[in-house]
Amino acid sequence: MNFIPLDSVGLPGLAAFAIGILAGLTALLLARARGRSAPASPDSGRRNASILWIVVQGLGIGSAGLGRIRIALDPLSAKALIEAGVVLALMLAAAWLFDWASRAMGRNWALVARTRDDGQLVETGPFALIRNPIYVSLAFVMVAMAIAYGHTASLVVGIPLFALGTWMRVRHEEVVLRAAFGPAFDAYAARVKRFVPGVL
């Protein structure tokens, strides 16, 4: 029984989401491989407290995918094809942005907040435009999932949960970065916005 109304969806949107998931998983595996290529620092500055906020982000994203899927659109209808195009664009943008960010970070990339003894403050690639491109890519995935599964009304719950988890992770990570890089991080933070270039 669903308490949130479902939108009718078509198979092309679900296929587009699946293609995006494969692209995202490929980018994630490549990022993990790059991260393992460097020797671990004995004091990485890893902060496992951020795992709680990863879970909150995950609940936000997951809420967009929970529940029945009502496949009722003609696969060749304009609505089904437009839906698929939007989902595919969001998912490929998410995979591309994640891959671009993880390549810019190189061996500094990790699932939870950490710094390495030989780490550098990354200000190139997407980090020249926004400070948290990977979280922006996750937001794209959440919206794409809600559209593909016909759960757009679930974003009323998903967006606030994801925003809370993201905000707490960002605050935690900024403490780690400020401790590691001091005035260099402050200057970078004053110049580059967190999520939307020049805005937020």
DSSP secondary structure of the chain: --SSPPPEE-HHHHHHHHHHHHHHHHHHHHHHHHHHTSPPPTT----TTHHHHHHHHHHHHHHTT-S--EE-S-TTSHHHHHHHHHHHHHHHHHHHHHHHHHHHHGGG--SS----TT-----SGGGGT-S-HHHHHHHHHHHHHHHHHT-GGGHHHHHHHHHHHHHHHHHHHHHHHHHHHTHHHHHHHHHS-SSSTTT-
pTM recorded for the entire structure: 0.90
Alpha carbons 42 and 40: distance in angstroms, whole number: 6
Tell me the mean pLDDT in the region 78-84.
Answer: 97
What is the chain's length? Answer: 200
Angle between the 50-63 and 133-149 helix axes, to the nearest 10 degrees?
30
Tokens coding 124 = 């190139």
- Residue 70 phi/psi, 5-degree rounding, is -100, 95
Digit-coded pLDDT (tens) for 125-144 = 999 999 999 999 999 999 99
At residue 34, the pLDDT reads: 78
Angle, CA 167 vertex, CA 48 and CA 152 arms, to 5°: 115
**How high does pLDDT run on average in the chain?**
89
At residue 110, the pLDDT reads: 73
Q: Does residue 117 register a pLDDT over 70?
A: no
Tell me the mean pLDDT in the region 103-111.
Answer: 82
Q: Which of 136, 161, 135 is nearest to 62 (CA)?
A: 161
Tokens coding 171 = 């605050």
Confidence of residue 45 (pLDDT cuts 50, 70, 90): very low
Confidence of residue 42 (pLDDT cuts 50, 70, 90): very low
Confidence of residue 40 (pLDDT cuts 50, 70, 90): very low
